[in-house]
Chains A and B, each alone.
Chain A
Amino acid sequence: MKLVAVTSCPTGIAHTYMAAEALSEAAKAAGHELEVETQGSAGLDRLDPATIAAADAVIFAADVEVRERDRFDGKPTVVAKVKDGINRPAELIERAVAAAAEAPAASTPAAAVPAAGVSPATKAEEGASWAGRLRGWLMTGVSYMIPFVAAGGILIALAFLIGGPEIASKVNGGTFDGHTYKGVSDLTLILNQFGVAGVMFKIGATSFSMLVPILAGFIAYAMADRPGLVPGVVAGLLASAVGAGFLGGLIGGLLAGAIVLQLVRLDVPRAIAGVMPVVIIPLVSTLVVGFVMLVVVGKPIASATNGMTGWLNGLGDSNKILLGLIVGAMMAFDLGGPVNKVAYTFGLASLSAGNLNIMAAVMAAGMTPPIALALATVVRPKLFNDAERKAGEAAWLLGASFITEGAIPFAAADPVRVIPSMMAGSAVTGALSMAFDATSRAPHGGIWVVGLIGHPLLYLVAILAGIGVSAASVVALKSRRILVPSGDAVAAAAPSSRGVVAA
């Protein structure tokens, strides 16, 4: 059996080490492996987290508070005086072995992982309500995704600022205000061709390309621990590849986690059990979830995309304000996902056909969600957790730069309340932009292309109106949630490995 112990005493020069030695001798005599951490005056040699993770039980022979005790959370534990460690070491070893035997089998991967330092920022507490655990999983994915949103989004915004908003079209290729660009031909030449702004844009865009994989990967990780990461990340990459956006990644991550949890619980023959964690679980879970994303999810999204595009084209110029309302709501529905893409592409197509109104409505509607959420985190900080408030700080700039993805962290954490709120405001903005006859000659750039906007002041009014509607809606919906008592795991988002013990 593998054991770990911590010894400590008031002075830290004698008993600490005597107990450590006595326990080691007793463990050796009884045929167990024991590693001891002496918290004495000769310094603290921390046990390797891997050793703690592998231990079947923990012995505390300590007369003073064990330092960093949370590292051992969830382990079967024997607590004793330091003198017991010296005088009765064999008895403590016996008690530890008994405690390990009584504890529920610690062999599921969920119980074997993360020691201090690697535990995710948020994990669903055991015993929380189903909705609370779901929110905990989503929040874990979101908390890992936020740095990618912030780093990528701010780099892109800075690239716009330095190189002008046309930098995106220059690097990616495309048309901007009548100029058509080929895009970067060879990445190694990007600095020469497009300067620092081009480099910053490319780096930002690359960080952005990881949003959905990271979200999906860490949702699955929150559910199933380390084995969930591979199928989750692959599901996210495939969600991006088939254009399923963050909602596709969210579903892919949940699916990946669920598949791994099922595989872990399978009762397999001994011969196979050994290769389960290394080969079978990653292989099967990735294959299944990948197949679903690629084959089952991909096709319907493609046909839905085509259907919506045809529908928008059919609406044509029949009712400008209605069209603005619809494309506005679509922009906010999945914030960069397939529906958003349909609306944006419709705007681009209209732009190249010479209709500048729809492009303006689309861009305005894409700017409101991040700004509205940033505003909401400032107005009612209590409705958001720490990770969301941090995301809110970056969201101002992202929204102003028409980087709608800045709202994804909020939408992924609480889609049911956030998405309708964002759609309402963006629909208002889209409709108003059309009503004011605002135009945009730029396909992107947000506030930085104000010079290419027709009726800029009214355009600003349209954007502010949408921000107000969205922020008010999201605050109202989230306030209602607080009133309903629920086992919300995320309220206690403290970094802790406590929720790790498998049921």
Chain B
Amino acid sequence: MSQIITPDLVDLDLPGTDRVAATRALAERLVAAGRVTDLDGFLADVAAREAQMPTGLEGGIGIPHARSAHVSEPSLAFGRCAAGVDFGAEDGPAHLVFLIAAPDGEGAEHMKILASLARRLIHASFKDGLNQAADPAAAATFITQEIAA
């Protein structure tokens, strides 16, 4: 199995628009990498999840995500946005956006990698590392290492 994130799934200059546009921009990278097979179908699944409860978290994080039939393998697209994108968190817009794509179905094994990713998200050191990442390759490597730790 490949890594859940590669440099081409990182956008360190995500435009500060709304969450739909930001999510679409990241999702297009997943499509280009062949990890998402149907852009609109996948975005509809993400929007449905977002409608249940906004995925913005305190501390400037947005984690739009979905389990979708249009996802071929567990994947993460990461965007950094200086201006911030509103993901519905009470304390303001998100500067770090993690689009998490999980294949549908109940394969517990490959879900564990996403569980490890989620566990890293709450650590300040993880956010700091991503805020300081110089380029997409560094960000992807950093995330991969953190999840493996």
Binding site for B on A (CB under 8 A): 10-18, 20-22, 25, 38, 40-43, 63, 83, 86-87
Contacts and interface: CB of A to CB of B under 8 A. Distances in A.
Contacts of B120: 21
A21 B58 contact: no
Contacts of B119: 17-18, 20-21
Given A11-B65, A13-B102, A41-B67, A87 B57 contact: yes
Contacts of B114: 13-14, 17, 41-42
B122 A13 contact: no
Contacts of A63: 53
Interface residues of B, number: 25
Interface of B: 49, 52-53, 55, 57-58, 63, 65-67, 100, 102, 106, 108, 111-112, 114-116, 118-123
B72 to A, nearest CB: 16
A306 B118 CA distance: 78
Most chain A CB inside 10 Å of its own CB: which residue of B65, B102, B112, B122 = B122
Nearest to A15: B118
Nearest to B59: A87
Contacts of A42: 108, 111-112, 114-115
B121 A10 contact: no
What 3 A-B pairs have minimum CB-CB distances, sorted nearest first? A17-B118, A43-B108, A21-B119
Contacts of B108: 41-43
A25 B115 contact: no
B65 to A, nearest CB: 5
A82 B58 CA distance: 13
Contacts of B57: 18, 83, 86-87
A154 B108 CA distance: 46
Contacts of B55: 14
A11 B67 contact: yes
B106 A13 contact: no
A43 B109 CA distance: 8
A12 B120 CA distance: 16
A10 B49 contact: yes
A86 B120 CA distance: 12
A21 B111 contact: no
